[in-house]
Structure 1
């Protein structure tokens, strides 16, 4: 069975809503043969990354960058996973009250270094998530999970 690892930092109600919709999309009945593992960014380990077949990342944009929690995750897993996770599918969702560009740029740089393959456009939300952005998070979760179906 394929495994999707959702690594998230959910410090706000908006991020929690986005996370819940991404999980709902990834675990919908139409997705078969994919186990979804949810890990807080500060708890996820290199072993979690190595055991997964694809990744969905969720972070707030803090001061124009990804959260410190997601940065810590990448710092902890980068070298242990560098050669073993090449080509694995991923995408992300980012919430910010101002700009999300810096967070997306940083995630893009790190995942490029890891040679992960982006399989869906990131979902970015500024301000409070509305029904359209929450639907986009659902679609994102479903899309990344569907990429792992055998």
Structure 2
């Protein structure tokens, strides 16, 4: 039997644990209906091979000095040029744990994503301050939405 489950790559970085909490909730949501397989990797562990495996992407980062984490930037640096030949055009969603407003990190990730190319299919989830239950619920919904859209062929 052919595996028809969609594959989601979740790449994130976390230092304080806030983004990791969000990543767990996003992954839980994406796995909930059993229609998608989720590969969750810290940014330093993820590679071009993982990108080529995926049907959809989830990126998570803390906001560091108004920017994405250095680890997520490193992932983009390591995969950007090798990915060019594949014209990925994958759907992605983004979640940010922010001490400020998160818009600097969001803007720069969106700029980089256009070059792969990747296409953002769900508005960015920006969670300000300490992670609360509402943030986790929104993160779970983000994962559910990407998984459902992939499963239904919308994305």
Considering the TM-score relative to the shorter chain, is it more than 0.5?
yes
Q: Does residue 18 of structure 2 align to residue 18 of structure 1? A: no
Distance in 2 (CA, whole Å) between partners of 1:85 and 1:21 is 30
After TM superposition, what 4+ stretches of structure 1 lie above 4 angstroms from structure 2?
none
Contact 1:89 1:147 in 2 (8 A): no
Given the alignment, which residue of 123, 126, 133 partners 1:124?
Answer: 126
Give the TM-score normalised by structure 2: 0.90
What is the root-mean-square deviation of aligned Cα atoms in Å? 1.3
Contact 1:93 1:122 in 2 (8 A): yes
- TM-fit CA distance, 1:13: 2.6
- TM-fit CA distance, 1:31: 4.1
The 3 A distance-change label for structure 1 pair 85 and 91 is: farther
Gaps of 5+ in 1: none
Contact 2:12 2:20 in 1 (8 A): no
Given the alignment, which residue of 25, 40, 48 partners 2:50?
Answer: 48
The 3 A distance-change label for structure 1 pair 40 and 85 is: farther
Gaps of 5+ in 2: none
Distance in 2 (CA, whole Å) between partners of 1:86 and 1:103 is 22
Distance in 1 (CA, whole Å) between partners of 2:87 and 2:57 is 10
Q: Trace 1:1-150 onto structure 2 (pairs within 5 A).
A: 1-28=5-32, 30-32=33-35, 34-149=36-151
